[in-house]
Amino acid sequence: QLQLVESGGGLAQPGGSLTLSCAVSGFSWSSAIAWFRQAAGKEREGVSCINTSGGATTYADSVKGRFTISRDNAKNTVYLQMNVLKSEDTGAYYCAARPGPACSGSVPRSPEYIWWGQGTQVTVSS
C-alpha cells in the first residue's frame, strides 16, 4: 500500500512557475508515478509520468516544453516543475502510482493508477 502526499500548489501569474512535490511512502518504491490534473467542470487528464529509475518520462502535448517531471528516490519524492504557466493550467493536481515500474502509453491513463494523493490546487491568474 502506497501513500502519496502532494504539496507546492498555490497562486501563480501567467508566465510564472511553480514546483509541485509528491512524497511517496509505503511498502514499495518500485512504481511509476504520474501527475494528473482536473479543472473545474472537466474530466481528469494525464499530465506526465516517470518510471522508477527516472530514465523515461512522458508528457501530454499541452505541457511539453513547459513542464518537467523528475524523481529523487533517496527522498521518495517526485517533482513537477511547471514553467510558463497559462490560465488553462489551473486545476487540482494529483500524483498517482501504478503497480509496475514503467509508464504506459504517451499520456497517463487514470484506470491504470491505483494509489492516489489528495491533490493540490494550482491557480494561474493575474
- Side-chain-side CA neighbours of 10 within 13 Å: the count stands at 10
Check pLDDT > 60 for residue 12.
yes
The CA-CA-CA angle for residues 83, 86, 92, to 5°, reads 90
- Specify whether the CB–CB gap between 9 and 22 falls below 8 A: no
pLDDT single digits (tens) 92-125: 999 999 988 999 888 999 999 999 999 999 999 9
Cell of 65: 516544453
Average pLDDT for the chain:
94
Q: How do 91-97 and 115-116 pair as beta strands?
A: antiparallel
Tell me the C-alpha to C-alpha distance, in Å, between residue 99 and each of 31, 57, 63, 85.
Answer: 6, 16, 25, 31
Nearest 5 degrees, angle CA 70-CA 10-CA 7? Answer: 45
| First and final C-alpha spacing in the chain | 40
Give residue 26's identity as a one-letter amino acid code.
G
Pairing relationship of beta strands 77-82 and 67-72 according to DSSP bridges: antiparallel
Per-residue confidence (pLDDT) for residue 27, from 0 to 100: 58
